[in-house]
Amino acid sequence: MSQVKQHKIDLAESEMPTRWYNVLHDLPTPPPPPLHPGTGQPIGPDDLAPLFPMDLIMQEVSTDQYVDIPEEVLDVYRLWRPSPLFRAHRLEKALGTPARIYYKYEGVSPAGSHKPNTAVPQAYYNAKAGIKKLTTETGAGQWGTSLAFACAQFDLECEVWQVRASYDQKPYRRLMIETFGGVVHPSPSPLTAAGQKILAEHPDSPGSLGIAISEAVEVAAQDPTINYSLGSVLNHVLMHQTIIGEETLLQLAKIGETADLLVGCTGGGSNFGGLMFPFLREKWAGRMNPDVIAVEPAACPSLTQGTYAYDFGDTAGMTPLLKMHTLGHDFIPDPIHSGGLRYHGMSPLISHLYETGEIGAVAKQQNECFAAGVLFARTEGIVPAPEPTHALAVTIEEALRCKESGEEKVIVTALCGHGHLDLPAYGAYLSGSVTDTGWEDETLKAAVAEALTKLPALA
């Protein structure tokens, strides 16, 4: 038996998928439509025209199974795609698990996460439609960075409202957006009516994605040369992310593996949907039968604790009404370190899949997620963003269950970004100052602590 372990399953640029997958084509039952906030009737393409270019609107409502990726977009994708799929040999060894753990790593992108997968086509279609500027919201800052980079590729201006909690916690993100040429405001800001209203009531508001969306939408709606761009939640956004899952299927096929369990974190749902939708297609076609689990933060548990109802996507109530799992559009989550998961709602597509039993969901506290992140960093050499440590925590739990049962399960997890700009969060964790509210699971932390003492076994 060879001692040589392959860590990375690579695809050549020439093997990169050239079309996105539209899960709407294959859903066992159709999801409820978005409703107009004024009339309560299903919205049409014209209702979205003030904010989005027609190409994206048609993608939002399309039921075609695949959409070709424009060559201009593929050329930018190739700066970092296909992204690597890793076998986590050293993490497995530290855990002593018979499970085979794979992680699809999106941190190789310009922004350091999966977000450019949709930022680039959104910028492209807007530029093609003659738009001059895009506005957007950002939480942890990944999305704002991604859109700033994408706008630089297609000669668009980029203006970003960043949730104040993250703006204050993560100054490096703002500097990265500016390095790529974007402009950043903390949200709530005095620049919009929506922001002014919040500030009048809560001058110290930490902000939320819902508020930041209201601000960015307000500015875009007032000028025909300005459009708005959303980094998650919507159908077309999740569709752009399916290149993650399509690549992963090709990579697993290369080494003859089939996923038994897929785990991803969920904020708005785009990283999760991007990995899972192509696997669900394969499941519905009877070609494989993986379990699929969404992991959300205990401080913002829209799937596990929210209601499934029509709600606004933003705080001020400017967006169409979406049928989704929601904590209420005026919910402001604690300023946890996973800024990208602080969203009151959940993508209607993911909500529909959860409601129909196609996927499961669990919620995790911060400290157990950071424990998983530190173990992962010391074994695999990548410091994960706080968001995907939620998926890593569940992955590690499942791998430890396999250790007890002896099951050689194939687990695939979405490592949607690196944590280079989240190091103060790790500093807070290492110094013991990260606080969780409510229940806290000590089991995982103990198991991780034990694995950390076994690192010598790696040598």
Q: Catalog residues that contact its own copies under the rule CB under 8 A.
A: 3-8, 10, 12-14, 71-72, 74-76, 78-80, 90, 108-110, 112, 116, 124, 127, 149, 152-155, 171-172, 175-176, 178-181, 374, 377-383, 418, 420-421, 423-424, 426-427, 430, 455-456, 458-459
Give min distance, CB of 201 to its own copies, in A. 32
Instruction: Judge whether 288 and 258 are in contact, CB under 8 Å.
Output: yes
Which CB, 120 or 447, lies closer to its own copies?
A: 120
| Burial environment of residue 168 by CB neighbours within 10 A (0 to 12, 13 to 18, 19 or more) | middle
363's tokens: 């919620």
> Min. distance of Cβ 418 from its own copies in angstroms?
8
Question: Given the complex with its own copies, which of 154 and 167 has the nearer CB atom?
Answer: 154
CB of 283 to its own copies, least distance (A): 30
Q: Which is nearer to its own copies, 239 or 383 (CB)?
A: 383
CA angle at residue 178 from 104 to 217, to 5 degrees? 80
Least distance from C-beta 181 to its own copies, angstroms?
Answer: 6
Tokens of 30: 């159709």
In the complex with its own copies, the residue whose CB is nearer, 78 or 401, is 78
Question: Least distance from C-beta 108 to its own copies, angstroms?
Answer: 7
Name the DSSP class of 342. Answer: -
Buried b (16+ CB within 10 A) or exposed e, 337-355: bbbbbbbbbbbbbbbbbbb
User: Shortest gap between Cβ of 191 and its own copies (angstroms)?
Assistant: 20
Closest CB to its own copies among residues 221, 377? 377
Q: How far apart are CA 232 and CA 78, in angstroms?
A: 22
| Cα torsion angle, 366, 372, 375, 381, sign | negative
CB 164 within 8 A of CB 138: no
Closer residue to its own copies (CB): 153 or 189? 153
* Nearest alpha carbon to residue 322 among 245, 237, 219: 237
Spell out the residues 6+ positions from residue 46 whose beta carbon is closer than 8 angstroms to its own: none
How far lies 107's CA from each of 162, 271, 450, in Å? 21, 12, 28
Q: Using H for helix, E for strand and C for coil, what is the string for 164-190?
A: HHHHHHCHHHHHHHHHCCCEEEEECCC
Q: Whose Cβ is closer to its own copies: residue 109's or residue 365's?
A: 109
119 conformational bin, left if phi > 0, alpha if psi -120 to 50, beta if neither: alpha
The CB-of-13 to its own copies minimum distance in angstroms stands at 6
CA distance 362 to 222: 40
Shortest separation between residue 326's beta carbon and its own copies, angstroms: 34
User: Measured from the CB of residue 94, what is the shortest distance to its own copies in angstroms?
Assistant: 10
Output the CA–CA distances (angstroms, integers) from residue 146 to 69, 251, 264, 350, 364, in the order listed.
18, 25, 20, 23, 27
**Nearer to its own copies by C-beta: 10 or 64?**
10
Quick one: 134 or 234, whose CB is closer to its own copies?
134
Give me the least distance between CB of 76 and its own copies, in Å please: 8
Which CB atom, from 71 or from 201, has the smaller least distance to its own copies?
71
- What does the alpha-carbon distance between residue 396 and residue 180 come to, in Å, rounded to a whole number? 36
Question: Minimum CB separation from its own copies for residue 302, in Å?
Answer: 29
For its own copies, the closer of residues 29 and 431 by Cβ is: 431
